[in-house]
């Protein structure tokens, strides 16, 4: 089966994290191809202004999710920070934002008092999520503390449980001073 470059870009799996600059470029090429098809009126996917607005809204949401995922992965140390990747995400986000705002303005001019595009509100919401990423763009950095990037080891939990069982018992007649602790202490001592 022969698959063209355009088809392979459209079949890109966006559920797995995008780690390399090449992956970012493939992802943005996929979005741009979808939007180009909408703008050119190709196929039935964007047969109306509402469908085009919804497609743009979906692309803006996908971009926002992927940029946030990439930032979290860099922060957690799952992927290394690369300036080229940062620049690629920023440039792609700005380009998408500009295209979406242009369509938004065109659709807003086409609305009449008696008719509203339902896709316009979806695009507004998607732009509302994308714009804060761009306004005051902050490049992600790896966390300083290890807690954000280290998974809990089961051997460590066993050690903690062992140390808790080795603690000396509470003195006879001891009750907590805090009322909330007292109620929990009474419930625990009854069981």
CATH of the domain at 79: 1.10.357
Question: Is residue 119 one of the residues assigned to a domain?
Answer: yes
φ, ψ of residue 173 to 5 degrees: the values are 80, 5
Whether residues 34 and 122 share a domain: the answer is: yes
Name the domain count of the chain. Answer: 2
Whether residues 68 and 47 share a domain: the answer is: yes
Question: Is residue 127 one of the residues assigned to a domain?
Answer: yes
The larger pLDDT score, comparing residue 45 to residue 12, is at 45
118 is in which domain, residue-wise? Answer: 5-144
Confidence tier at 188 by pLDDT (50, 70, 90): confident
Q: What does the alpha-carbon distance between residue 117 and residue 128 come to, in Å, rounded to a whole number?
A: 17
The larger pLDDT score, comparing residue 53 to residue 190, is at 53
Token reading at 154? 């089961």
Question: Is residue 149 one of the residues assigned to a domain?
Answer: no
Whether residues 117 and 162 share a domain: the answer is: no
Whether residues 32 and 85 share a domain: the answer is: yes
The average pLDDT across 13-32 equals 81
Q: What does the alpha-carbon distance between residue 46 and residue 67 come to, in Å, rounded to a whole number?
A: 25
For residue 64, the number of C-alpha atoms closer than 13 Å in the C-beta half-sphere is 19
Do the beta carbons of residue 50 and residue 121 sit within 8 Å?
no
Whether residues 40 and 87 share a domain: the answer is: yes
Please state, in angstroms and as integers, the Cα–Cα distance from residue 84 to each residue in 71, 89, 109, following that order: 14, 9, 38
Whether residues 181 and 106 share a domain: the answer is: no
Instruction: From 185, 188, 162, 165, select the one nearest 175 (Cα to Cα).
Output: 185
Q: What does the alpha-carbon distance between residue 98 and residue 102 come to, in Å, rounded to a whole number?
A: 6
Task: Indicate if the pLDDT at residue 42 is higher than 80.
Answer: no
Whether residues 101 and 168 share a domain: the answer is: no
Burial class (CB in 10 A: 0-12, 13-18, 19+), 191: exposed
Do the beta carbons of residue 56 and residue 123 sit within 8 Å?
yes
Query: What are 72-106's pLDDT values in tens digits?
Result: 888 888 888 999 999 999 999 999 999 999 988 98
Whether residues 30 and 64 share a domain: the answer is: yes
Query: What are 103-158's pLDDT values in tens digits?
Result: 889 888 887 766 778 888 899 899 999 998 899 888 888 877 655 555 656 667 78
Instruction: From 32, 125, 19, select the one nearest 72 (Cα to Cα).
Output: 19
Whether residues 82 and 164 share a domain: the answer is: no
**Per-residue DSSP letter, 168:** P
Q: What does the alpha-carbon distance between residue 168 and residue 170 come to, in Å, rounded to a whole number?
A: 7
pTM greater than 0.85 (yes/no): no
Do the beta carbons of residue 75 and residue 140 sit within 8 Å?
yes
Q: Check residue 121 and give its pLDDT.
A: 87
Whether residues 125 and 166 share a domain: the answer is: no
Whether residues 73 and 23 share a domain: the answer is: yes
Token reading at 165? 């069982």
Q: Check residue 12 and give its pLDDT.
A: 47
Whether residues 55 and 79 share a domain: the answer is: yes
């Amino acid at each position: 089966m022969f698959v063209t470059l355009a088809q392979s870009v459209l079949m890109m799996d966006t559920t797995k994290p995008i780690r390399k600059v090449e992956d970012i470029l493939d992802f943005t090429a996929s979005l741009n191809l979808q939007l180009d098809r909408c703008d050119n009126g190709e196929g039935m996917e964007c047969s109306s202004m509402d469908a085009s607005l919804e497609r743009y809204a979906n692309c803006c949401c996908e971009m926002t999710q992927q940029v946030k995922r990439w930032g979290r992965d860099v922060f957690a140390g799952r992927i290394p920070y690369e300036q080229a990747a940062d620049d690629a995400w920023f440039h792609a986000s700005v380009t998408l934002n500009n295209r979406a705002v242009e369509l938004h303005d065109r659709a807003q001019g086409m609305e009449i008092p008696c008719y509203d595009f339902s896709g316009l509100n979806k695009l507004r919401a998607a732009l509302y999520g994308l714009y804060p990423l761009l306004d005051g763009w902050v490049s992600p950095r790896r966390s300083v503390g290890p807690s954000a990037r280290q998974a809990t080891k089961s051997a460590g939990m066993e050690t903690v449980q062992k140390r808790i069982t080795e603690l000396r018992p509470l003195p006879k007649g001891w009750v907590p001073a805090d009322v909330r602790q007292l109620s929990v202490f009474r419930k625990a001592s009854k069981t």
